[in-house]
Structure 1
Amino acid sequence: MRHNAIKPDEAMTAAVRRVAAVAAAHAADVDREARFPAEAVQALREEGLLGALVPHHLGGGGATMTEATGHCQILARACASTAMIYAMHHSQLACIVMHALDAPWHRAFAQRIAEEGLLLASITSEVGVGGDMRSSICAVEVSGDRFTLEKQAPTVSYGDHADVFLVTARVNCDAPASDQVLVVVPRAQATYEATGGWDALGMRGTGTVGFTFRSGGAAEQIIPAPFADIAAEAMVPASHLLWSGVWTGIAVEALTRARQFLRAQARRQPGVAQPGAARLMHAAGLLDAMQARIRLLLAQFDATHALGSDRPVMTEAESGWPQGMARAGVLNMLKRDVSEQCHEVVLEALRICGMAGYKNGTDFSIGRHLRDILSAQLMINNDRIAATTGTMLLAQRADLGTL
């Protein structure tokens, strides 16, 4: 199915807002039934937004990471599950756009993603590696121009509804665990059995379950670049930036409801100082600081990476985009801080609204937002991130906290 052509900037934002309206109409049911947000994802497909990061010359939207992150924030205000699916999809699409478009098979497949609105899912987790994306037990077996692959994955989000899977594995059976490749597998080439179900506290529409996954196909489906480079340059930065858009979107919506509550109270009690106003100031300050931090990193990323377009770019030194270990540290700290501070913003919104926010079905209900934002600290557990990043900071020679 071909989608409507999309344009950058205002037209693309307008398309996202149309999708957000669809997502909002079904968000309560998606949450209540823990079901895939089919209506919103179909709207994303019809608006051409699943190809937002694909370059124009391949039929996509040619979006920047700043634009894609903004899309996540708009969608999250309506339905966090829809926004997270959009973010996860684009974190995978960024890997193809940044590391595979020079290969004929992947260039043609990127065009298919844009034209057909294919939904991408990630299979990077594996039973036995303890949540370490940069380690694999399974391996790709290549014979001639064909490959086979089998993987036990404990967490695959929206896998039952994905059109394409991006799967990590060792480059061959003799390779060490960290010598990995990323394989693009269309659904038609995959067989899988889901293990377990998904009845979670929040993000209930993402449908994260385990998979026993098997596939085979053409060896050219293996992205030529080492997964170590793909992860460091594309997957991790895109994930943390796009997730930040989702989480701040949840926080923005919760705080907007809290401000509306205070305005309603003020109209009923003119001239009376509202006690929740101080909490509103505190939460708004947290949100502003997070947004400024995210905007800076997005500007640096987009100044450095053309994402497959013909935009002129700078070197990392010129743009300020951090390199090597420093980049990993900056992104890890962003993820940890935004996930925790957005939780605090949502809690402040709930405190402001009181019982009107605690109850479901009111104009000021915050319960779904609070449950959804709790997932942020568990997606790559913050304790693991803090321990890893603290060790990296010990090894760095740069001064800490300087302007």
Structure 2
Amino acid sequence: MTIQHGHAASPLEAGSDLRARAAAAAAIAADHAEAVDREARFPAEAVEALRAERLLGAGIPIALGGEGATTEDLAEIAYALGRACASTAMIFAMHQTKVACIVRHGAGEPWCEGVMRRIGAEQLLMASSTTEGQGGGNVRASSAAIEPDGGSVTLERAATVISYGAEADGIVTVARRAADAAASDQVLCVFLKEDYTLERLSGWETLGMRGTCSAGFRLRARARPEQVLAARYQEIHGQTMTPVSHILWSSAWAGIAAGAVERAQAFTRTAARGAGGQAPPGAVHYARAVSSLRQARALIAQAIDLFAEAGEDPSRLSALDVQTTLTMLKVEVSELAVAAVSSALRANGLAGYRQDGAFSVGRALRDILSAPVMIHNDRILANLSTLTLMSPVAASLRD
């Protein structure tokens, strides 16, 4: 499904086309979401739909065979998918975050540009491996190191989680630069399926997000040295990984919340009609759900605009106010999304609590409860409090 015009698509036309294709993929994701959750299986049908609509390569520049999607475009796709299937939305968000890291920090490197072309042409699905051993969600320190081996490099790491690792076409992972490097001296590596093996270490039996299949694996990779990005991971993390992941994760979570709020709206309307137009007792909770969702969407829009304005200027992206806003986005939206779904449950009462029926929000609640603990909010807040401790408190509303 492409735009048939005799001229290059404008940003508005391109965005509209991507959203139409996202809606088509979301419809397929919705059809299989219940089975994906019940069976804790990879959402194969939804991912194939993303491939068919060429959305896995959406973040690749047009010159390299992709769709040239903006961060806002990707966020809208994640939101649409979140309303349909939480696991599919989160897989899309994690994949596009890794693609963004390659695009923004691998430009000009022949091997990286080659893999970008492959992602665009073959619609490769890239998994993320940042958690490791006892470090858990501490993505700023690595135990495993890149080791030289003749004309190649090797890496062996015990990954606590590699979401959809067994189903991916490649893995983007972080590691220490060398065996004698500090844990914080990290690099980002891009491995394709032919470069590595996975040995399963743990399973994935969870309340929600069951289709992300985020099992633990021992990753053993052997690759070319140029598959280790030249950019320092600290720069990649601050300039791309944190802002893009937080925007896309938040968009997926807001989508989950929107799906629950929509069910609460339908229940409230049905109950009001049955009571001769009188609002049911739970209507106040529906209003709270709507408010929480609106706040979440506003924060995401603000972050998208801020990230776009900062552009490619590292100094702007490194500014404390920008870093604080983009970092806190994950914390604030994850909590607002939980609040929205919880309010939707209370609005629907027993009909929302039931696992069956058109007004059930049980799956949405189980899925959204992952948001505050996925890279735990407490860890983020602790890191941010240290960063901002010496910063002066604003003296006025406009400072």
State TM-score, norm by structure 1: 0.93
User: Which residue of the partner structure matches residue 376 of structure 1?
Assistant: 371
User: Which residue of the partner structure matches residue 179 of structure 1?
Assistant: 185
Q: Secondary structure at the match of 1:376?
A: coil
What is the identity, as a one-letter code, of the residue corresponding to 1:12?
A: L
Task: Tell me how far apart the structure 2 counterparts of residues 401 and 121 of structure 1 sit (CA, whole Å).
Answer: 44
Is the contact between residue 177 and residue 187 of structure 2 (CA under 8 Å) also seen in structure 1?
A: yes
Identify the range of structure 1 (124-133 vs 34-43) with the bigger mean alpha-carbon deviation. Answer: 124-133
> 1:322-341 maps to which residues of 2 (within 5 A)?
323-341=318-336
Task: Tell me how far apart the structure 1 counterparts of residues 92 and 294 of structure 2 sit (CA, whole Å).
Answer: 24
Kindly state the Cα deviation for residue 128 of structure 1 after the two structures are TM-superposed. 3.4
Q: Secondary structure at the match of 2:211?
A: coil
Q: Secondary structure at the match of 2:209?
A: coil
What is the identity, as a one-letter code, of the residue corresponding to 1:329?
A: T
User: Which residue of the partner structure matches residue 382 of structure 2?
Assistant: 387
Kindly state the Cα deviation for residue 325 of structure 1 after the two structures are TM-superposed. 3.8
State TM-score, norm by structure 2: 0.93
Task: Tell me how far apart the structure 1 counterparts of residues 27 and 125 of structure 2 sit (CA, whole Å).
Answer: 20
> 1:278-357 maps to which residues of 2 (within 5 A)?
278-305=284-311, 323-357=318-352
Q: 1:297 to 1:170 in 2, by over 3 A?
A: same
- Give the superposed CA RMSD: 1.7
What is the identity, as a one-letter code, of the residue corresponding to 1:367?
A: G
Of 192, 216, 228 in structure 2, the residue corresponding to residue 222 of structure 1 is: 228
Q: 1:145 to 1:399 in 2, by over 3 A?
A: farther
Q: Is 2:271 aligned against 1:256?
A: no
Kindly state the Cα deviation for residue 129 of structure 1 after the two structures are TM-superposed. 2.6
Q: Is 2:272 aligned against 1:266?
A: yes
Kindly state the Cα deviation for residue 316 of structure 1 after the two structures are TM-superposed. 7.5
- Structure 1 segments of 4+ aligned residues over 4 angstroms from their partners: 4-7
Is the contact between residue 203 and residue 372 of structure 1 (CA under 8 Å) also seen in structure 2?
A: yes
Identify the range of structure 1 (270-279 vs 144-153) with the bigger mean alpha-carbon deviation. Answer: 270-279
Q: Which runs of 5+ in 2 are unaligned?
A: 4-8
Kindly state the Cα deviation for residue 5 of structure 1 after the two structures are TM-superposed. 5.8
Is the contact between residue 303 and residue 325 of structure 2 (CA under 8 Å) also seen in structure 1?
A: no
Of 64, 75, 80 in structure 1, the residue corresponding to residue 70 of structure 2 is: 64
Q: Which runs of 5+ in 1 are unaligned?
A: 307-314
Is the contact between residue 152 and residue 211 of structure 1 (CA under 8 Å) also seen in structure 2?
A: yes
Task: Tell me how far apart the structure 2 counterparts of residues 146 and 5 of structure 1 sit (CA, whole Å).
Answer: 41
Of 44, 48, 51 in structure 2, the residue corresponding to residue 42 of structure 1 is: 48
1:62-111 per-residue CA deviation (whole Å, 9 max, x = no partner) reads 01111101100100100000000000001101100110021011011101
Task: Tell me how far apart the structure 2 counterparts of residues 132 and 401 of structure 1 sit (CA, whole Å).
Answer: 35
Is the contact between residue 128 and residue 137 of structure 1 (CA under 8 Å) also seen in structure 2?
A: no
Identify the range of structure 1 (379-388 vs 148-157) with the bigger mean alpha-carbon deviation. Answer: 379-388
User: Which residue of the partner structure matches residue 309 of structure 1?
Assistant: none
> 1:190-201 maps to which residues of 2 (within 5 A)?
190-201=196-207
Q: Secondary structure at the match of 1:239?
A: helix
For these two proteins, the number of residue pairs brought into alignment is 389
Is the contact between residue 5 and residue 48 of structure 1 (CA under 8 Å) also seen in structure 2?
A: no
Task: Tell me how far apart the structure 2 counterparts of residues 192 and 287 of structure 1 sit (CA, whole Å).
Answer: 39
Task: Tell me how far apart the structure 1 counterparts of residues 122 and 397 of structure 2 sit (CA, whole Å).
Answer: 48
Task: Tell me how far apart the structure 2 counterparts of residues 273 and 132 of structure 1 sit (CA, whole Å).
Answer: 47
Task: Tell me how far apart the structure 1 counterparts of residues 395 and 19 of structure 2 sit (CA, whole Å).
Answer: 38
Identify the range of structure 1 (141-150 vs 179-188) with the bigger mean alpha-carbon deviation. Answer: 141-150
User: Which residue of the partner structure matches residue 13 of structure 1?
Assistant: 19
